Amino acid sequence: MKLFEKLTHVQKHRSMLYADGEKTVRDFLEEVFPGRRDLMIIECGTNKGVSASIFSQYGHVITVDIERQSDIEETIEAAGGVRQRILTNIYPERSARMMYLDGSTSAPFDLGFEDASHFLPDIQDNFQYLKRCGLVLFHDYDGSQPGVTTFLDRLSETDHVIRRGVFGVWIKKNHPFALKLFGDDACLKN
């Protein structure tokens, strides 16, 4: 593949997330973690590596997925100079993924990102580990993925959930961002 074709191919995949939310993600990260570039982020659902490439500009990213996409390295390389801040883990077996998440999320992560399976049981499983971060960003909270919408709508009945474009954000009570958004009411949920 010629260089121009490679870049066009990579750009096409990058546009999947960029078109519906790169600015939203960047604005969100700047709002919650102003000026920080030392974040620790865990991501479920790597796919082409687009979101990992964006997140890596704010710190280190550990990703977990069931299979490696053939063009993930191209996407990450196209982002320029971020490869060393992304650790990609592939676990085809559910039990191995759950064990990895259980061990990994005991580390002090600043943010969890859920964009793996869009089926309700899988989202619930991943959330049990990602919620330890205190802040979880979900992609596809726009009605296009019923599992994501159902999960976050149910969660919003008892927890702090906000919508940002096609993203949903779960915030643990007493998290500094919850306090900033909700003030004294930040203690009322979850």
Going residue by residue through the chain (190 aa), what tens digit of pLDDT does each one get?
A: 443 344 344 444 444 444 557 888 888 999 999 999 999 999 999 888 888 999 999 999 999 988 887 777 787 777 777 888 888 888 888 888 888 888 877 778 999 999 998 999 999 999 999 999 999 999 999 999 999 999 999 999 988 999 988 999 999 988 888 878 777 665 656 5
In this prediction, residue 151 carries a pLDDT of: 97
Q: Among 69, 70, 56, 79, which Cα is nearest to 7's? A: 79
Q: What is the pLDDT of residue 132?
A: 92
Cβ within 8 Å of residue 25, ≥6 positions away: 17, 51, 54, 55, 137, 167
Query: How many domains is the chain partitioned into structurally?
Result: 1
pLDDT number for residue 19: 52
Taking the model in full, what pTM does it have?
A: 0.84
Q: Which two tokens stand for residue 84?
A: 């060393």
Residue 70 maps to which CATH number?
3.40.50.150
Residue 187: the pLDDT is 61
Domain of residue 91: give its range: 3-187
